[in-house]
Amino acid sequence: MACLSIFLPLFFSLLSVTSSSSNSLLLPITKDTTTQQYLTTISHGTPFVSTNVVVDLSGSVFWLDCSSTKSSSSSSLRTIPHRSLQCLTAKSHSLTWPIDHDRDTPCEILPKNTITGISASEGVLVEDVLELKSTKDSIFQPTLDFVFACSSSLLLNALSNDAKGIVGFGRSRTSFSSQFFNSVDSQRKITFCLSSSSGFVLLGRNKVLESEKIFRSLTFTPLITNENNEYFINVNSIKIGGKKVSFNTPSLSQEGYGYGDGTKLSSVVPYTTMQSSIYANFKSAYLKAALSINVSRVASTVSPFEICFDSRGVDESQTGPDVPVIDFVLQSEMVKWRIYGRNSMVRVNDDVMCLGILDGGDELKNPIVIGGYQLEDVLVQIDLDSSMVGFSSSLLVKDTSCSNFRFGSKDVQFQSS
């Protein structure tokens, strides 16, 4: 397998920019296999300090544990005052103007750990300079207008030991990606490619990369837009092994399942989860399909998985174990998000593999959440300007993977395995 040559010594401070429609930022991503979290590295402050953060595709804010990242010693760090437009933007849903707060009172903001669901008991909004990798054809000028929340180490619970915060790429005005797009002349595109080893997030448009065959073969589905800052698509039905699963509604995005927001894309949920009433029908149909091709269920399971199989005798292909293919059918029968064995089965030992799709319980907020494992080795592009989501089939079908992404001095390409 080709090595990933993505870590280039090409850095720029973030970013107020001259006009260029191809301005883009590249963030390499690695996976922490212990926590199943995806990490990237942010360099910030004066002098620059490199900090690992968890990537939250739908996250609304960028926050750091400033006590452990030496942020407070940065000479360019500035606390955002309470009575400021930046504070108003960050707290637009709850900001009040108490008369006992003077103009210089720090902007208090309580970031959330989106893995545990716990919000901080204290935090302040700050701004500082960030050092980020750019693509070759981008032209940047430095700016200090990048804000994030400073929290305490108590919020690090359940994060990777290497991580000191979370960087959000959601649709809120204070997310990392929104601040980038507001600072540069760039198309508002978020392209990501997760992997069990190394992958990337690309903000903006890269013309060379988009000329790749894989980009030109993306399938598109509408992005659901609502008051939520996360990313959703409509899944109307599910097929397993080509057969439609029977549910109690013509569309899995209708009211009655979760809150009707549709199917969420998430990089902080390790495995795809379904609301219990959906999962019950899905599980029954999957077991029937597996039995029909002589894939045998085993009695014991391994947490957090609920269905496990004997992997002995199951053929392997370039897309993983030869098990029933799962199709999430989107706006029409012709538009499908296909999940092969590589993204549906998780090997727990030499003899057992488990279905990496879980029961999220009756109280799951969304009908379906497509988790990180199912997103791996799938190229996904969220186009905020057109409100569309583009996605590839498994890159393994094309004899490549997200870890084979090459970003060289002269070209940008996916290499074959």
Structure confidence at residue 60 as a pLDDT band (50, 70, 90): very high
Q: Which residues contact 255 (CB under 8 A, 6 or more apart)?
A: none
The answer to whether residue 244 sits within a structural domain is yes
For residue 384, pLDDT beyond 90: yes
What's the CA angle centered on 99, arms 93 and 104, to 5 degrees? 80
For the stretch 149-173, pLDDT in tens is 999 899 999 999 999 999 999 999 9
Which helix H or strand E contains 284, and what residues bound it? helix 276-292
Q: How far apart are CA 117 and CA 45, in angstroms?
A: 28
SS3 label, residue 391:
strand
The domain tally of the chain equals 2
For residue 304, pLDDT beyond 90: yes
Q: How far apart are CA 19 and CA 21, in angstroms?
A: 7
DSSP codes, 111-151: -EETTTTEEPS--EEEE--EEEEB-TT---EE----EEEEE
The answer to whether residue 342 sits within a structural domain is yes
Structure confidence at residue 137 as a pLDDT band (50, 70, 90): low
pLDDT at position 99: 47
DSSP codes, 355-379: E-EEE--TT-SSSEEE-HHHHBT--
For residue 21, pLDDT beyond 50: no
Mean pLDDT, rounded, for 193-216:
86
The answer to whether residue 129 sits within a structural domain is yes
Most confident of 48-52, 86-90, 147-151, 337-341: 337-341
* Amino acid identity for residue 316 in this structure: E
For the stretch 346-371, pLDDT in tens is 999 999 999 999 999 998 989 999 99
Q: What is the DSSP letter of 287?
A: H
CATH of the domain at 295: 2.40.70.10
Same domain, 31 and 159: yes
Structure confidence at residue 331 as a pLDDT band (50, 70, 90): very high
Same domain, 247 and 332: yes
Same domain, 224 and 121: no
How far are the Cα atoms of 260, 403, 417 from residue 396, in angstroms, in the given order? Answer: 33, 11, 9
The answer to whether residue 388 sits within a structural domain is no
pLDDT at position 253: 66
Enumerate helices (H) and strands (E) in the chain, giving the number of each.
7, 35
Same domain, 19 and 93: yes
pLDDT > 70: percent of the chain: 82
Structure confidence at residue 7 as a pLDDT band (50, 70, 90): very low
Structure confidence at residue 396 as a pLDDT band (50, 70, 90): very high
Q: How is the chain split among helix, strand and coil, in percent rounded to 5?
A: 15, 35, 50
Q: How far apart are CA 145 and CA 284, in angstroms?
A: 52
**Enclosing domain of residue 151:** 11-214+409-414
* Amino acid identity for residue 133 in this structure: K
Structure confidence at residue 273 as a pLDDT band (50, 70, 90): very high
Q: Which of 266, 222, 232 is nearest to 115 (CA)?
A: 266
CB–CB of 39/55 below 8 Å? yes
Same domain, 236 and 282: yes
Q: How far apart are CA 153 and CA 300, in angstroms?
A: 38
CB–CB of 371/271 below 8 Å? yes
The answer to whether residue 385 sits within a structural domain is no
Same domain, 33 and 167: yes
Q: Which of 285, 370, 361, 352 is nearest to 325 (CA)?
A: 285
Same domain, 178 and 244: no
Peptide bond into 304 cis (omega under 30): yes
The answer to whether residue 45 sits within a structural domain is yes
Peptide bond into 47 cis (omega under 30): yes
Q: 45: phi > 0 → left, psi -120 to 50 → alpha, else beta; which?
A: left
Is the dihedral angle over the CA atoms 342, 344, 347, 352 positive or is it negative?
negative
Same domain, 202 and 296: no
Mean pLDDT, rounded, for 292-318:
96
Least confident of 64-73, 105-114, 212-221, 240-249: 64-73
pTM: 0.89
Same domain, 345 and 305: yes
- SS3 annotation, 44-97: ECCCCEEEEEEEECCCCCEEEECCCCCHHHCCCCEECECCCHHHHHHCCCCCCC
pLDDT at position 12: 29
Residue 242, class by beta-carbon neighbours within 10 Å (0-12 exposed, 13-18 middle, 19+ buried)? exposed
Same domain, 50 and 154: yes
For residue 303, pLDDT beyond 60: yes
Same domain, 88 and 175: yes
The answer to whether residue 78 sits within a structural domain is yes
Same domain, 115 and 180: yes
Least confident of 56-60, 89-93, 226-230, 311-315: 89-93
Mean pLDDT, rounded, for 117-137:
81
**Mean pLDDT estimate for the chain:** 85
